Amino acid sequence: MLRRRNCHEQGIRSVGFRPALLLSVLAALLISLAPGSGTAAAHGSVVNPASRNYGCWLRWGSDFQNPAMAQQDPMCWQAWQDNRS
């Protein structure tokens, strides 16, 4: 008696399997060759280059109430006067 095969018995050699496999392997290869960029590499970060807030904190963090800041670092002085928090 002849037995008919259903779609699950075709095995690995189905018509669309090899092109799909080749395309998947090629895509994986191309993706793995692309150089990865760091986190937000094009935009910098809070510390590099230093934002105005972080730069002022580095320069005046422990001495933020020094009146000499108005002459030596007017940008930080103005920022501190504008928003003290």
In the prediction, which pLDDT does 42 show? Answer: 57
- Is 61 inside any structural domain? yes
Mean pLDDT by 10 residues, the chain (85 residues): 62 65 87 66 62 83 88 89 71
In the prediction, which pLDDT does 74 show? Answer: 92
DSSP structure class, residue 36? P
In the prediction, which pLDDT does 65 show? Answer: 85
Does pTM surpass 0.85? Answer: no
In the prediction, which pLDDT does 72 show? Answer: 93
Domain holding 64, by residue range, is 52-82
Number of structural domains the chain divides into:
1
- Is 64 inside any structural domain? yes
Residues 69/75, Cβ–Cβ less than 8 Å: no
- Is 5 inside any structural domain? no
In the prediction, which pLDDT does 7 show? Answer: 62
